[in-house]
Amino acid sequence: MSFLTRYLLYLTGLHLTLAGLAYTAFKTEPVWLVGSEVVLLGSLLLGADMYRTFQRPGQYIGSGIEAIRDKDFTIKFVPTGNRDVDELIRVYNLMIDQLRQERTHQAEQQSFLDKLIDASPIALLIFDYDGRITSANPKAVTLLRRPLDTLLNRLPDEIAHPLLSQFMGLPAEQPQLVQQTGIERYRVLRATFMDRGFARQFLLIEELTAELITTEKNAYGKVIRMMAHEVNNSIGAVNSIMQTLTPELPDADSQRAMHVAIDRNDRLNGFMRRFADVVRIPPPVRTRVDLRDVVQQVGQLMGPPALKQGVSITVAVPDNPVCLSVDVGQLEQVLVNIVKNALEACEAGRQVQIRLEARRLQVLNNGHPIPTELANRLFDPFLSTKATGQGIGLMVVRDILLNHGFTFSLKTQPDGWTVFRIEWDQLGNGMV
């Protein structure tokens, strides 16, 4: 039974009892009987008014609770003139003002945080309590090369992405440096945060490839330029002296020895210039070409060396044109270096295949596999497995492809074939 019902029953019962007593006491005195009835009626009305007064704070409280439940912090009450009720209204209005300010501040902070995450160059994935992805910023979508709707509300294993699977297996709360395919490097942090008293995971992925390559190139570029400058200056002066003294030598053997020394100095100077050229690769001058022509020309160019070595070389291109904006000269140099390395890995009877697709170019060979200890160091500066190698070829390939914005990798597959893969997006741009 509600308070209103109990109060009304009490009020009615009390006044009926008083009316009965008054009738019994004053039934022979009409004036007093009427007077007592008027008093009882006034008392009844006063009790009803007091009930409305008592009920008003409850109504305010109920309306305020309903507004808070609906997250409407704009409703405020005006004073009524009743001191007790006005004090309650004042407290409520102060509380609602504070809640509105806190909510506005929180919304502003959340908006700023969302914009910061969206603009961040670091990929961010946030997971729910069950380990499903609930949020992924634009950098994460770009890095994983998956549409946003294929990431949300899915477990990492359901996405079947090699990078994501590897990152989720890293130790928690410990930043890790991860290297992929010899060129891609990432700093990864898998950690947790508390949400409503329960732990949720998030994954931060910072791509370091471009930054590390730039730092690396600046470091060795300065040394190479200094060495080339000093060698060129010294050899120029030494050769000038030797050329002046050669005619004055008494016998032909001494003159031939002097010419050999001069030729050796020139070759040394050329050797240093080749190193200096590595750090002076010009930006690509792009023209729109059909890659089928470029690939077939490289195949024809490398055919005779392959035939002489006893290695078969095949070229497969699609029926439809594959048009990209590239620097033709630089891209040809890249393909020649890649195919040359593939031939050097092969013995007689092995194969080299060049395959062009709409968004991918691959050079495959079934020669000697890449040693496991070198798999993640293939594009390191000056790294070479050849006795006479200078480690320049893959450096040049790396820098040209990076300047074009192409994604690339080099690795030996489980089936024994070594694949150099170059990829681009539908617009012909690199897939960063």
Could you please report the per-residue DSSP string of 17-54?
A: HHHHHHHHHHTT-HHHHHHHHHHHHHHHHHHHHHHHHH
Cα 120 off chain centre by? 8
pLDDT at 431 over 50: no
CB-based contact 312:354 (threshold 8 Å): no
What is the spatial distance between Cα 29 and Cα 40, in angstroms, rounded to a whole number?
17
State how far the alpha carbon of 375 is from the alpha carbons of 202, 346, 393, 409, in Å.
Answer: 30, 18, 16, 11
| DSSP single-letter state for residue 290 | E
- pLDDT at position 268 is 73
**Pick from 53-57, 135-139, 320-324: least confident:** 53-57
Q: DSSP 3-state assignment of 412?
A: strand
Q: How many residues does the chain have?
A: 432
Mean pLDDT on 126-150? 88
Dihedral angle over CA of 255, 257, 261, 267, nearest 10: 100
Helices (H), 291-369: 291-309, 328-344
pLDDT at 42 over 70: yes
What's the mean pLDDT when you consider all of the chain? 80
pLDDT at 235 over 60: yes
**Pick from 60-64, 117-121, 336-340, 413-417: least confident:** 60-64
pLDDT at 35 over 50: yes
pLDDT at 430 over 50: no
What is the spatial distance between Cα 2 and Cα 55, in angstroms, rounded to a whole number?
12
In degrees and rounded to multiples of 5, residue 249 shows phi and psi of -70, 145
- pLDDT at position 432 is 32
For 169: left if phi > 0, alpha if psi spans -120 to 50, otherwise beta; the answer is alpha
Give the pLDDT confidence of 56-101 residue by residue, as tens digits.
Answer: 666 666 777 777 777 777 777 777 777 766 777 788 788 888 888 8
Give the pLDDT confidence of 241-295 residue by residue, as tens digits.
Answer: 777 777 777 777 777 777 777 777 777 777 666 666 666 677 888 999 999 999 9
Dihedral angle over CA of 427, 291, 347, 388, nearest 10: -80
What is the spatial distance between Cα 115 and Cα 110, in angstroms, rounded to a whole number?
9
| DSSP single-letter state for residue 248 | G
Mean pLDDT on 145-168? 85
What is the spatial distance between Cα 173 and Cα 145, in angstroms, rounded to a whole number?
26
- pLDDT at position 29 is 75
Q: For residue 102, name the pLDDT band (cuts at 50, 70, 90).
A: confident
CB-based contact 364:422 (threshold 8 Å): no
Q: For residue 195, name the pLDDT band (cuts at 50, 70, 90).
A: confident
The residue written with tokens 């209005």 in the block is 93
Instruction: Check residues 116 and 83 and name the one with the higher pLDDT.
Output: 116
Pairing of strands 360-365, 123-127: unpaired
Mean pLDDT on 136-152? 87
Q: Residue 138: CA atoms inside 13 Å, Cβ hemisphere, count?
A: 8
Q: What CATH number does the domain located at 120-207 have?
A: 3.30.450.20
Highest mean pLDDT, choosing among 24-28, 170-174, 330-334: 330-334
Q: Does domain 287-423 have CATH number 3.40.630.10?
A: no
Instruction: Check residues 194 and 237 and name the one with the higher pLDDT.
Output: 194
Q: What proportion of the chain, given as a percentage, has pLDDT over 70? A: 80
**CA nearest to 421, candidates 410, 405, 406:** 410
Cα 93 off chain centre by? 45
Cα 340 off chain centre by? 35
What is the spatial distance between Cα 396 and Cα 336, in angstroms, rounded to a whole number?
11
DSSP-derived secondary structure for 117-157: HHH-SSEEEEE-TTS-EEEE-HHHHHHHT--GGGTTT--HH
What is the spatial distance between Cα 383 and Cα 18, in angstroms, rounded to a whole number?
111
CB-based contact 49:7 (threshold 8 Å): no
Q: For residue 380, name the pLDDT band (cuts at 50, 70, 90).
A: low
Count each helix (H run) and each strand (E run) in the chain, helices first.
11, 12
Instruction: Check residues 252 and 339 and name the one with the higher pLDDT.
Output: 339
In degrees and rounded to multiples of 5, residue 121 shows phi and psi of -80, 0
pLDDT at 132 over 70: yes
pLDDT at 388 over 70: no
Q: Tokens for 22?
A: 């008054």
Mean pLDDT on 18-28? 74
